[in-house]
Amino acid sequence: MDRSALIVVDVQLDFLPGGALAVRGSDEILAPLDALLRSNRFPLVVATQDWHPPGHVSFASSHPGRRPFDTIDLYGHEQILWPDHCIQDTPGASLHPDLPWRYATAIIRKGADGDVDSYSAFRNNWNAAGKRPPTGLAGYLRERGVERIFICGLARDFCVKWTAEDAVDLGFETTIIWDLTRAVDPSSDGAACRSRGITLIQSRTLLDASAGPMR
Q: What is the pLDDT along the chain (215 residues), one digit of tens a residue?
A: 469 999 999 999 999 999 999 999 999 999 999 999 999 899 999 999 999 999 999 999 999 999 999 999 999 999 999 999 999 999 999 999 999 999 999 999 999 999 999 999 999 999 999 999 999 999 999 999 999 999 999 999 999 999 999 999 999 999 999 999 999 987 777 888 888 899 999 999 998 844 555 54
Cα 19 from Cα 80, distance rounded (Å): 18
Considering the domain boundaries, does residue 152 fall inside one?
yes
The one catalytic residue in 159, 161, 166, 193 is 159
Per the CB < 8 A criterion, the answer to whether 116 and 123 are in contact is no
User: Checking phi first, is residue 84 left (phi over 0); if not, alpha (psi -120 to 50) or beta?
Assistant: beta
Given this model, what pLDDT does residue 2 score? 66
Given this model, what pLDDT does residue 213 score? 52
Given this model, what pLDDT does residue 215 score? 46
Cα 81 from Cα 62, distance rounded (Å): 9
Query: Is residue 86 flagged as an active site residue?
Result: no
Considering the domain boundaries, does residue 28 fall inside one?
yes
We report the CATH number of the domain holding residue 26 as 3.40.50.850
Considering the domain boundaries, does residue 71 fall inside one?
no
Query: Is residue 110 flagged as an active site residue?
Result: yes
Considering the domain boundaries, does residue 215 fall inside one?
no
State which residues form the domain around 10. Answer: 4-53+83-206
Considering the domain boundaries, does residue 60 fall inside one?
no
Given this model, what pLDDT does residue 187 score? 76
Per the CB < 8 A criterion, the answer to whether 42 and 6 are in contact is yes
Q: Which of 121, 133, 139, 125 is nearest to 6 (CA)?
A: 121
Given this model, what pLDDT does residue 212 score? 53
Given this model, what pLDDT does residue 188 score? 73
Considering the domain boundaries, does residue 78 fall inside one?
no
Looking at the structure of the chain, the number of domains it has is 1
Angle at 188 between CA 186 and CA 192, to 5 degrees: 165
Per the CB < 8 A criterion, the answer to whether 49 and 110 are in contact is yes
Strand (E) or helix (H) holding 191? helix 191-195
What DSSP designation does 55 have? T
Considering the domain boundaries, does residue 19 fall inside one?
yes
Q: Reading across the β-sheet that carries 173-182, which strands appear in turn?
A: 106-110, 45-50, 4-9, 148-154, 173-182, 199-201
Given this model, what pLDDT does residue 108 score? 97
Q: Which of 20, 17, 26 is nearest to 155 (CA)?
A: 26
Given this model, what pLDDT does residue 210 score? 42
Angle at 11 between CA 34 and CA 213, to 5 degrees: 40
The one catalytic residue in 14, 50, 86, 110 is 110
